[in-house]
Amino acid sequence: MSDKAAAPAIGIYIDADACPVKPEIYRVAERYGLKVRVVANSFMVTPRDPRVELVVVSDGFDAADNWIAERVGAGDIVITADIPLADRCLKAGATVIGNTGVPFTSASIGMAMASRELMSDLRAMGEITGGPRPMQQRDKSRFLSALDEAVQRLKRTRRS
């Protein structure tokens, strides 16, 4: 028996209400045998797999974000487009990937928060309308690559 305590398993947390890459996450999680927590404000269909858990939270403001942020830690992966949630999860030591495969990092989160604030101000003044551009196949490919790289990096870190 080893003196080293076993590292907790890698978990994936999905901010699921508007996540367009859930099928891709399920495929990667199945390949690596990872636990997935799908956190949403209402029921949604998830794979019939004991490693996939649907967590339905209240529809209160930031309920899903709060649930994730209170539980995530180092060695976990969070999938979200929500910049304040990404910031909270990074501070907890988690790896955070946006829906388009662009990772949030401690080096990039400050600029992302500032840009979010600027866009919010511009929208409030009526300067900007519309939402994000539609998800493209290349976004899904970039996401799959980023998620696979994150899992591989966390697995290597746990071995050393």
User: What are the tens digits of pLDDT across the range 62-121?
Assistant: 899 999 999 999 999 999 988 899 999 999 999 999 988 989 887 676 666 556 565 665
More confident residue, 16 or 133: 16
Helices 137-159/22-32 angle, 10° precision: 30
**CATH dotted code for 11-105+137-153:** 3.40.50
Query: Which of residues 132 and 20 earns the better pLDDT score?
Result: 20
Query: CA 112, CA 103: separation in Å to the nearest integer?
Result: 11
| Whole-number pLDDT of residue 2 | 42
The three-state secondary structure class of 14 is strand
pLDDT of 4:
47
For residue 40, what are the β-bridge partners?
A: 56
Report CA-CA distances (Å) from 73 to 17, 78, 105, 142.
21, 10, 15, 24
106-112 long-range contacts, CB within 8 A, separation 24+: 109/83, 112/83, 112/86, 112/87
Low-confidence winner among 10-14, 60-64, 141-145 (lowest mean pLDDT): 60-64
pLDDT band at 160 (very low <50, low <70, confident <90, very high): low
The pLDDT of residue 68 is 97
What is the predicted pLDDT for the residue at 91?
A: 94
33-66 per-position pLDDT tens digit: 999 999 999 999 999 999 999 999 998 888 999 9
Looking at residue 1, its pLDDT comes to: 40
pLDDT reported for residue 17: 86
Torsion (CA) 8, 44, 16, 145 in degrees, nearest 10: 70
Domain segments of the chain as ranges: 11-105+137-153
pLDDT at 150: 96
